[in-house]
Amino acid sequence: MALGALIIQQKLNITDRETVEQIQENPYLQYFIGLDTFTNKIPFNSSMMVHFRKRIKSEIIDKINEKIVLKELKKKKK
């Protein structure tokens, strides 16, 4: 959930509060962070984003994103 929320925040370039609001409103984002069903309740308080960033540094997120992009590019070449 933490990694998914940080990826969403980085890709959308939004604040902690906006990230939680986007996740709350969007069933696809809720699925992306690991929720099984859509809910109108916030999955976590926006202050938790600070803790997520402390645990998962932006360099790790960048490496994961790079690997995902490279994998997709390889698929397209085939």
pLDDT tens column, 14-73: 999 999 999 999 999 999 999 999 999 999 999 999 998 888 887 887 888 888 889 989
Element (H, E) at 53: helix 48-55
The predicted pLDDT at position 53 comes to: 86
Residue 18: per-residue pLDDT: 97
- For the entire predicted model, the pTM comes to 0.73
Closest CA relative to residue 1, chosen from 56, 39, 41: 56
Fill in the amino acid letter for 43: P
